Structure 1
Amino acid sequence: MQPRDLYTKVEDFLSDESFQRWVRFKENHTHWEEWTLESPERAKLVAEARVWVLSMKIEETELSAQEIQRSLQDTWDAIQTQQVQKPIWRMGWFRVAAAVLLVGTAAMTYFLVQKNPTQVVITYKDLVEKDTEGLIEQTNNSNKPQLITLADASSVLLQPKSKLSYPKEFSGNERKVYLSGEGFFEISKNPNKPFYVYANEVVTKVYGTSFRVIAYPSQPNVEVVVRTGKVKVMPNEEIQTDTKEGIMLLPNQAARFVRNNLSFEKILDITQDKPLIASTNTIEQLSFEFRDIPVHQIFTTIEQAYLVKIEYPKEKLKDCYMTTSLSDEPLPEKLKIICESLGSDTRYEMNGNQVTIISSGCN
C-alpha cells in the first residue's frame, strides 16, 4: 500500500484498513484527525471517503485484499461513468453493497463534499480573505507570548506559532479579529459595539471580558475558556451543527468544538477538565484583586502576566499602596486605573513591551 500522503482518490482511503477502523471505531483518532486537517483539499477527499465507509457499514469479510481492491475499482469506475457495468445479481455481496451505495448516496456525497466543502473545515486563510477592511497580520514566530494592543485598547497575548489579523481601526457597529493558534483576550467594554473572534469553525461574541481561544489548525478541537465576564460561542454560519443558537459561558466555563463530528461540548467547571488545566497560562493563574498592596508589587504582577517591562520612579512610589480590582480590564485600562489612583500628575507611556510610568509620587 502506498503512503497515505500520496492518496489522491477515494478508493485509496477505502482500501486502507486503518482508515476504515478510524471512521467506524475511532481508532488512531488523533493520528488521522491531525493529518486530515493539514490540508483543505485533503479534508474534502477524506470527507467523501468517510461518507462511503459510514454508509456501507461493511462487516468483516474473508475476501482477499485483491478481491476487495478489484471490487472497489469496479465501483469507482461505475461512479465515473454513472452506471454499473455488470448485472447486480452477478456481483459478490461486497459489490452489491457498493452498487446500492452508488445509487443511494452518490448525489448526497457530491452535494455535501463538492457543493459545501466548508462544512468540513474552515481555515484562517479563508476567513481573512473574505474580510474587506484591510487587515494587519501579526505572527508570533518567537518562543514566548507576544502582547498585541488593538485600536480599542483591547489586549491580546498571542502564543507562539499563532497568528492574529485585525483592522487598524474598528469601523462600523462591530469589532472583528481572526485567530489561528492560541490567544488570551481582554476586551475593552463597549455594549454598542460587540467584539467577535473568528477562529476557524468557531465564533466568539463578547462585550467586555477576558477569555482564551485555542484554535490550532492541526488539533482536533477548538476551545474557548472564560476567565471573567460572559461570552457567547457559536459555530461559523457555514458550519451545520445542532448548536446554531450558540453556547453562553460564564467564568471558569469552557466550550469545546469537536471537528470530527461538528459538535459542541459545554464544560461547566474547567478545573475538572485535565487538558484545559494543563494548558492554563500564567496570566490566568494570577490574581488582579489588590487590597492595600504596594504599587511595586502590582507592577511585578503585571510584568509576569503580560511579559512586559515596567520602568517607574522607585523612590517616589516606594511608599504608595493601593486597593483596586483589575481583573476584568485589558492592559491599557489596568495601567490607566493605576495612574489615576496615584494622582493626576501620573501617566504612562507604552512602546511595544516597554511601559514607562511618569509620576511625582502618590497623593
Structure 2
Amino acid sequence: MQDYRNIEPEELAIDPSFQRWKLINDPIESDFWKNWLAQNPDKEELIDKAYHLLSTLTEVYARFPTDQAPVSDREVKNEIQRLQLSIDEIEKPAVKWYRFTPWQYGIAAGIVLVLGFFLRYMVQQPAPKTGTTYRELITQVSKPLLEVANANNGPKTINLPDGSTIVLKPQGRVSYANDFGGEIREVYLVGEAFFEVHKDPSRPFYVYANGLVTKVLGTSFTVQAPEDASQVKVLVKTGKVSVFAGTQATVSQQKEDYKLGGIVLTPNQQIVFSPTDTRIIKSVVPKPAMLEGPAKYQLFSFKRTPIAEVFATLEKSYGIKIVYDEEVMKDCYLTASLDDEPLFEKLDLICNTISAHYEQMDAHIIITSKGCQL
C-alpha cells in the first residue's frame, strides 16, 4: 500500500486514489481519505497543495477541444520534451504556486502541462508490468555470465573489461558477460552500486535492476535496487543517464537507437521507480553536490547582489534549474556568505532573507515570492 505520509504533493496529485476522491468524489476513496486525514491531521497542508496542483491540471485540460483525438505515447513524450525546453529557455518565467494570473500564465502553464501530460500518460497509458527480478533476468540470457557478489562488510570494486568500474555495496550482486563484447554492454544488478562507465558512444551501457533499465554512453551514477524492495532509485553524479521501464518492447526499441531515450537525468537529478505500477518520479537528489570543473570553485559571497545573479550562480554551480518571477523579484538583493552550506540550506537562508518560499517540481526549484521593498 502507498505510504502517503512520505509522499510529495506532485506525487500525490497523480495518485489514482487521490484523483478519484477529488475529481469524481468516489464514495470508497472519499471514506478512505477522510479516515486517513483523521489519523494524519498534520498532513492537511500536503492534501491542500496536491489538490491545488490537481485543480490546475484540470483547468489546463479544459482548454483543449473536447473532440481532440487521443494523445499517443510518442506525442506525449514529444510534448513533454518541448515544454521542458520552453521552461529551460524562457528568459522571464512567472510562477505562482497556487494562483495563476493572466500575465503569469506562460511559464506556469508550461510547468503544469509537463505534469499534466505526465498525468495522462501515467494514469491512462500505463506501461505493461514486467516483474523481472535479478534471477529471472539472468536466466533469460543465452550467453555465459560472470557473477560477482559482495559478502564483505565494506564496498567492493569491480573492474569491467571495457575499463568501467563498479563499486558494489555489501550484499549486492552483479552479472555480466565473460567477454563483455558485442555492440552493447549489459550488467544485471541486485543491491546498490556506483558505476563509473568508460565512454563509448558506439557501445551503450545498460544496467538492469528490478524492472528498471538505465542506459548510458559514459558517465557516473548510483543504482539502488535492494532485493524485494518496493522502489528502485537512480542518482546521477556526472554526465547524462536515461531510464525506462524494462518491458520487452521498450528495451528492444532503445537498443535500436544509440541516443539516450526515456527519461533523461543530468547531475544532481534522480528518479524513483515503482516496479509494481512502473511509475517513475523525477526529482533533485537529497544532497546536491557541486559540479566538477570551474563551477566547483565558485564563491558564494554576495554583497547587495541582485537576486537574479544569486540564482544564476546557484544554477551554474549545481546544474539545477531555478524558476522564479524575475519581474516580481527585481528589487530583491542578497548580502550573505554561503560558501559551506549545502544547496538546500543555501536556499533556506536566501528565502528567509527575502521572504520567499521554494518547492521542488520535476527536478526544478520553483521560487515563490511577493517581491521585496526597497
Report the TM-score, using the length of structure 1 for normalisation.
0.42
Report the TM-score, using the length of structure 2 for normalisation.
0.41
